[in-house]
Amino acid sequence: MGTRAAEGTGALRPQRSWDEIKPFTKAVADALVRFDPARYVATLSRAKRAGKVFVDDLRNGRGATAVAPYSTRARPGAAVATPLSWDELDAPLDPASFTIETVPRRLAAVGDPWAEIASVRQSITSEMMEQVGLSAQGAPLAASR
């Protein structure tokens, strides 16, 4: 849970370079926007993101910053970036309720949703790259032929 909204993360085996993954995540973001533009947006502008799911492919490049799980945020109440399970996203959530006071109790009660993340063995396959219009190296298919 971020400071204003839920943020999704996918764990991948480190088999592809940043230069291969970056165009893949951009293609997936663009595909979601084409699929349902009333629901998804891939634009950084906050005004255009209001009321929509922001699909952020910008965190997928070397040197891009991201907030580490369980890190405190410079916010009133010392909010904590808190991993959630998919099941928890069914109910309304208040990002401000995840603080240095509440997160330890939460972990004791429900455990760490990311406890097994290091054992995830998924990767982006060449077939997945092709499904979003990219060669296995991340170049647009039309340009790679």
- Count the alpha carbons within 13 Å of 65 in the hemisphere toward its beta carbon: 1
Q: pLDDT grade, residue 137 (50/70/90)?
A: confident
The pLDDT-based confidence of 112 (bands split at 50, 70, 90) is very high
Residues 6+ apart with CB under 8 A from 106: 82, 98
Domain map of the chain by residue range?
A: 18-62+69-144
Q: What pLDDT band is residue 27 in, cutting at 50, 70 and 90?
A: very high
Instruction: Please provide the CATH number assigned to the domain covering 18-62+69-144.
Output: 3.90.920.10
> Hey, what are 141's tokens?
């298919």
Residues forming a β-bridge with 40: 53
- pLDDT tens, position by position, 38-84: 998 898 888 888 888 888 888 888 888 888 899 998 888 888 999 98
pLDDT value at residue 5: 62
Q: Does residue 102 carry a pLDDT above 90?
A: yes
